Chains A and B, each alone.
Chain A
Amino acid sequence: MSDPMRIRAAVKGEKVEVKILMSHVMETGQRKDAEGAVVPAHYITKVTASCNGRDVLSADWGPSVSKNPYLSFRFKGGAKGDKLKVTWTDTAGDSRSDEVSIG
């Protein structure tokens, strides 16, 4: 299991501002190690965020996203105390979900 995401979600005016830091190697599959062998691809392909069960963000990611990705977005309709759940799935089939209360 990978390290937990760091998630901050706070109401800013009408919207909820979400900041997420994921911990992931995000290997593109095009890099070679010191021996010249290709490092196998290992990156996040799907990110979803839901607020109290309602999807607020869905993203298809590829190998061009950096290591330990930082994601920030805003959405309407969230309120203080709502549960924001973020999930990612990667090429290895691994998945991780973390949940925070909107502050």
Chain B
Amino acid sequence: MCSSRLLALGLWLIAASASAAPAWEALGKPLAANEIASWDIDVRPDGVGLPPGHGSVEEGQVVYDTHCASCHGTFGESTDYLALAGGVGSLGTATPQRTVGSKLDYATTLWDYINRAMPFNRSKALSVNEVYAVTAYVLNLNDILPADAVLDERSLPQVEMPNRKGFTQAHGMMRADGKPDVRNTACMKDCLKTPPQVSSALPAGFTHQLYGELGPHFRQFMVAAPAAAAPTPAALAASNGCLACHAAQQTRVGPAFADVARRYAAVADAPAQLRQKVRAGGSGVWGSALMPPQTTVTDAALDQILGWILAGAAAP
């Protein structure tokens, strides 16, 4: 019974995916590496995900006193807010104290939590090094690190926490009365007892009647983003660093583009001559200032820039 249902469900899923795929395949786009990196912020117990950085207990005390002590107490002893230190060995007793020292199994979790969520009113306000420093200080408050300790991305995962083997998720992160973030346990086998019933709170066909076919509208926006407008020659001159020394109308370190245009107005193969000068660099033609050889600008960009200069370097 159960297996035939599952089989039917499987076939239904396959059929659904096969028929639905063409309608939606045009949606979305592969994420670039930097886009994934902006989401991929977790730090794992073994230290994977820790950014390079370092901070000492001493530096951490300054950060802690500024951002943390008002709620957590000077020594992490706060009783009306979340205590950070003490309580080691109290988890199994009638009055469990959940603190960094008594609860956490990995020091990297502390780093991750501070980095994501603290200070409470201004999360993400601390720099990477400040997070390392304040992590070191909180571990020092728990007598886990000596007062002269310095943490970095290599030493933090090596820190041995007192509760290394005793971590549970049966309650909230720290408080005795806190609720856990999730209550679900991972199901790995025979999990769906009944096929899922997908439904909408709206009447059947409501959206379709109201808006018509939505798919084409989505595709219009999301399939082919219009190609970025080609950069103007002036923009190319800026992005290739020409404007660091040259200006369109004024003489700076190098000659004004307008002066160059005037001097080469009657020269037949001006673009070729100028291209060679830009590539090789030189000095003494317009003054003693040296123009370094320009090797990074592409031929296509250089031709555009030179055409723009010889035409008088008009503002875009």
Q: Which residues in B have their C-beta under 8 angstroms from that of A70?
A: 73-75, 77
Majority-rule SS of B interface residues? loop
The reply to whether B74 and A8 form a contact with Cβ atoms under 8 Å apart is yes
Q: Beta-carbon contacts of B52-93 to A below 8 Å, as 1s and 0s?
A: 000000000000000000000111010100000010000000
Interface string of A1-25 (1 = CB under 8 A from B): 0000010100000000001010000
Q: Which residue of the partner chain A has the closest CB to B65? A: A8
A8 to B79, CA, bound (A): 19
B221 to chain A, nearest CB (A): 58
**Set of chain B residues within 8 Å of A19, measured between Cβ atoms:** 74-75
A interface: dominant SS: strand
Q: Which residue of A lies closest to B69 (CB)?
A: A19
**Could you name 17 residue pairs across A and B whose Cβ atoms are closer than 8 Å?**
A6-B75, A6-B141, A8-B74, A8-B75, A19-B74, A19-B75, A21-B74, A21-B75, A21-B77, A66-B79, A68-B77, A68-B86, A70-B73, A70-B74, A70-B75, A70-B77, A72-B74
Interface size class on chain B is: under 10
List residues of chain B with CB under 8 Å of any chain A CB: 73-75, 77, 79, 86, 141
Distance, CA A68 to CA B83, complexed state (A):
12
B138 to chain A, nearest CB (A): 13
Bound-state Cα–Cα, A8 to B137, Å: 14
Please measure, in the bound complex, the distance between the C-alpha atom of A70 and the C-alpha atom of B74, giving whole angstroms: 9
**Given the complex of chains A and B, what is the CA–CA distance between A34 and B312 in angstroms?**
95
In the assembled complex, the Cα of A1 lies from the Cα of B74 at a distance in Å of 24
Closest 3 CB pairs of A and B: A21-B75, A19-B74, A6-B75
| Cα of A19 to Cα of B77 in the assembled complex, Å | 12
CA–CA, A72 to B75, complex, Å? 12
Docked complex Cα distance between A68 and B73 (Å): 13
Report chain B residues within 8 Å CB of A21: 74-75, 77
Q: Which residue of A19, A66, A72 has the most chain B CB atoms within 10 A of its CB atom?
A: A19
Query: Closest CB of chain A to B159's CB: distance in Å?
Result: 20
CB neighbors of B among A57-88 (8 A): 66, 68, 70, 72
